[in-house]
């Protein structure tokens, strides 16, 4: 049976030291691999400002795990239970990836979206418009006969 791909994002409290942060991340990696999961990719986004305060904290350490597991495995339930029990985790989200998300993540990891464009668009030089001298319109003078002349 083919393995199913999952992605799990956690936000850890900002008061953690580097050692505490790496210990927490390592424990979750061991939890994934210990329950039959295969860790595909791990990404640390670092300390980031939150959109709104969570538990009176305005920042948090974002950590992303992408892993594969058997569809009938309870690895996501076990992982989320560990997140709920850990006071260092402010928020978490685990999702099942469809085939398009898997392809997108592979391309993103390979740097397909971060490459600079090979050609810079050339800037057009500003052209000064020549203004023509205004020419007076031809004036037609019609002579009219006045009543006195008649």
Give the whole-angstrom CA distance, residue 109 versus residue 40: 11
Q: What pTM was estimated for this model as a whole?
A: 0.69
Q: Does domain 4-109 have CATH number 3.30.70.1280?
A: no
pLDDT at 119: 58
DSSP secondary-structure letter at 149?
Answer: T
Beta bridge partners of 61: 12, 47
CB-based contact 107:17 (threshold 8 Å): no
- Domain spans in the chain, listed from the N-terminal domain onward: 4-109
pLDDT digits (tens, 9 = 90+) for 24-83: 999 999 999 998 889 999 999 989 999 999 999 999 999 999 999 988 878 999 999 999
Q: What is the DSSP string of 90-122?
A: EEEEEEE--HHHHHHHHHHHTTTTTPPPSSPPP
- Which DSSP helix (H) or strand (E) runs through 62? strand 57-69
d(CA 125, CA 129): 12
């Amino acid at each position: 049976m083919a393995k199913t791909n999952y992605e799990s994002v956690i936000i850890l409290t900002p008061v953690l030291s580097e050692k505490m942060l790496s210990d927490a991340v390592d424990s979750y990696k061991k939890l994934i691999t210990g329950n039959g999961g295969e860790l595909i990719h791990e990404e640390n986004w670092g300390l980031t400002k939150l959109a709104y305060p969570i538990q009176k904290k305005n920042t948090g350490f974002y950590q992303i795990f992408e892993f594969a597991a058997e569809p009938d495995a309870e690895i996501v339930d076990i992982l989320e239970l560990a997140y709920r029990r850990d006071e260092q985790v402010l928020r978490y989200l685990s999702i099942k990836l469809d085939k398009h998300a898997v392809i997108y993540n592979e391309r993103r990891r390979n740097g397909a979206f971060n490459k600079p464009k090979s050609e810079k668009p050339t800037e057009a030089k500003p052209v000064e418009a020549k203004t023509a001298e205004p020419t007076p319109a031809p004036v037609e003078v019609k002579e009219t006969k006045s009543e006195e002349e008649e």
